[in-house]
């Protein structure tokens, strides 16, 4: 999830905790029922388990593409968060199944690019498994350069094609 959401989340949790703290400072009288806790924003990520509905609503889970540098298959720091929440989903939902589709930009030969796309998809699956996902939940497919999202011959387009797409086949 992005920074803003995290900070907001943290702020809301601290408000909640502060509210609890202030409650304790005011000594409750035994006969009185304690006042209801102040409302806390429902943000289940930090402590709860994902549910299928989160796939459509959670800002991190909704991000299903991881992008790569030219000729590279290593996951860049800015995509670690996406890998983390997707891994958590797989851990929280043992019945969930995911296909990782590896892609490349148009440069280079078709068959070599099938290999490069697979290398990227496997890089993501390794990262997911390292975070607790089961290999049985993940299928790896490579389309090489056969499934471009754009056709222009420039870096802006090439960057969009160097990607692994996450597709949930079972939630």
Partner 1 sequence: MMIRHLKAFLAAALVAAVSAIVPAGVPAAQAQSLTLDIVNGVPSAIPITIVPFAFESAATPPATDVSEVIRNDLARSGKFRTLGRQDIVETPTRGSEIKFPTWKLLKQDYIVVGRERDVSGGQVRVDFELWDVTRQQQLLTLAYTALPADLRGVAHQIADQIYQKIIGVPGAFYTRIAYVTAVGVGKSLQYSLIVADSDGYNPQVVVRSRQPLLSPAWSPDGKQLAYVSFEKGDSAVYMQDLATGARQLISARKGINGAPSFSPDGTKLAMCLSFGGNPEIYVMDLATRQLTQLTHSMSINTEPRWMPGGQSIVFTSDRSGKPQLYQVPLSGGGATRITFQGEYNANVAINYDASQFAMVQGSGNVYRIAVMDRKLGDQMRFLSPGPMDESPSFAPNGSMLLYAASEGTRGVLYSVSDDGRIRQRLSLANGDVQSPSWGPYRQH
Q: Residues interacting with partner 1, by CB under 8 A? A: 71, 106-112, 114-116, 118-119, 140-143, 146-147, 151, 153
Cα separation of 16 and 29, whole Å? 22
User: What count of Cα atoms within 13 Å lies in the side-chain half-sphere of residue 81?
Assistant: 13
CB of 146 to partner 1, least distance (A): 4
Residue 128's contacts (CB-CB under 8 Å, 6 or more residues apart) are: 83, 86, 87, 90, 98, 138
- Residue 144: phi and psi, rounded to 5, are 55, -125
**Residue (2 or 70) nearer to partner 1, CB:** 70
Q: Which is nearer to partner 1, 62 or 112 (CB)?
A: 112
Q: Under a CB-based contact definition with an 8 Å cutoff, are residues 137 and 97 in contact? A: yes
CB 129 → partner 1: shortest distance, Å? 14
Instruction: For partner 1, give the closer residue by CB, 45 or 138.
Output: 138
Whole-number Å distance between alpha carbons of 163 and 123:
11
Please give the helix or strand (H or E) that residue 169 lies within, else none.
strand 163-170
Minimum Å distance from CB 22 to partner 1?
58
Least separation in angstroms between residue 95's CB and partner 1 is 21
> In this complex, which beta carbon is closest to partner 1, that of residue 54 or of residue 118?
118
Which C-beta is closer to partner 1: that of 74 or that of 146?
146
Shortest Å, Cβ 67 to partner 1: 18
């Amino acid at each position: 999830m992005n920074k803003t959401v995290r900070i907001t989340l943290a702020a809301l949790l601290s408000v909640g905790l502060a509210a609890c703290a202030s409650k304790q400072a005011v000594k409750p009288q035994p006969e009185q029922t304690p006042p209801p806790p102040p409302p806390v924003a429902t943000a289940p990520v930090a402590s709860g388990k994902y549910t299928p509905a989160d796939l459509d609503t959670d800002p991190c889970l909704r991000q299903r593409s991881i992008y790569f540098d030219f000729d590279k298959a290593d996951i860049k720091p800015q995509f670690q968060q996406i890998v983390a929440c997707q891994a958590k989903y797989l851990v929280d939902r043992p019945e969930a199944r995911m296909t990782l589709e590896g892609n490349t930009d148009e440069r280079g030969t078709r068959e070599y690019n099938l290999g490069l796309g697979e290398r990227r998809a496997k890089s993501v699956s390794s990262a997911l498994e390292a975070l607790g996902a089961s290999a049985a939940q993940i299928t790896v497919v490579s389309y090489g350069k056969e499934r471009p999202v754009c056709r222009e011959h420039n870096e802006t387009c090439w960057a969009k094609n160097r990607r692994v797409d996450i597709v949930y086949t079972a939630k």
